[in-house]
């Protein structure tokens, strides 16, 4: 069985895979920041969902990268976690 790191290294030798991987980097970084913040505050997915008026499954899909959230959703999550979300367009 291959390790994650060796599989990742092999997959990233493909230019098309590497391009998509790099394009998704910022998206996954945002998700990871929200997960870290939620865990640091000791809030479960269910509790967060209740705080923003959604279902736990929506939080799970968001955290797994299987949900493309609206900016409004991101602001609600940030507010519930006492975080700031700054969106810039350039």
pLDDT value, residue 18: 85
Place of tokens 């969902």: 49
What average pLDDT values come out for the chain (90 residues) when binned by 10 residues?
Answer: 74 86 79 93 97 97 89 95 88
Question: What pLDDT does 12 receive?
Answer: 83
Where do the structural domains in the chain lie, given as residue ranges? 4-80
What local confidence, expressed as pLDDT, does residue 4 receive? 65
Q: Kindly report the CATH number that applies to the domain delimited by 4-80.
A: 1.10.260.40
- Amino acid 20: pLDDT: 81
Task: Write a three-state SS string for the chain.
Answer: CCCHHHHHHHHCCCHHHHHHHHHHHHHHHHHHHHHHHHHHHCCCHHHHHHHHCCCHHHHHHHHHCCCCCCHHHHHHHHHHCCCCCCCCCC
């Amino acid at each position: 069985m291959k390790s994650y790191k060796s599989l990742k290294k092999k997959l990233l030798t493909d230019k098309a895979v590497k391009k998509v991987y790099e394009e998704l980097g910022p998206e996954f970084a945002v998700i990871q920041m929200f997960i870290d913040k939620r865990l640091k505050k000791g809030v479960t997915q269910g509790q967060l969902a209740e705080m923003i008026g959604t279902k736990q499954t929506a939080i799970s899909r968001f955290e797994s990268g299987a949900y493309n959230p609206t900016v409004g959703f991101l602001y609600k999550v940030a507010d519930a976690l006492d975080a700031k979300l700054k969106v810039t367009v350039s």
